[in-house]
């Protein structure tokens, strides 16, 4: 389920984060949102330079996107180097804060 977060960046990431019931699904949802936003910013920034910069930014983003999608599908948890730990804590904290109904309604 977590790998589906990377399917259509960042839309499926947002859905996974908001609807996910496990910390792993929510974590990958946050990462998918971040990856989608960073990829778009990189493409726009590269557009200010030569055409080859756009091609390189697209190729790098596609490589990261496919890598995260495939590795997550095989049960691993790739994460961004600097912010990955914070995203994991944020995803786990939100799960604990959700009140659970005991009345069955």
Return the domain boundaries, the chain: 2-97
pLDDT over 90 percentage in the chain: 84
Nearest to 35 by CA among 10, 16, 14: 10
Q: What is the average pLDDT across 41-54?
A: 97
- Is 70 exceeded by the pLDDT of residue 86? yes
Peptide bond into 10 cis (omega under 30): yes
Whether residue 101 is predicted with pLDDT greater than 60 in this model: the reply is no
99: pLDDT strictly greater than 80: no
Give the pLDDT mean for 35-61. Answer: 97
Segment 55-64 mean pLDDT: 97
Statement: residue 98 has pLDDT above 90 = no
């Amino acid at each position: 389920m977590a790998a589906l977060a990377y399917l259509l960046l960042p839309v499926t990431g947002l859905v996974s984060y908001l609807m996910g019931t496990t910390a792993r699904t929510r974590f990958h949802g946050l990462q998918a949102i971040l990856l989608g936003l960073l990829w778009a910013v990189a493409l726009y920034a590269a557009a200010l330079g030569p055409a080859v910069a756009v091609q390189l930014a697209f190729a790098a983003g596609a490589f990261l996107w496919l890598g995260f999608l495939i590795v997550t599908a095989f049960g691993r948890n790739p994460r961004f180097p600097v912010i990955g730990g914070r995203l994991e804590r944020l995803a786990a904290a939100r799960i604990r804060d959700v009140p659970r109904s005991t009345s069955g309604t």
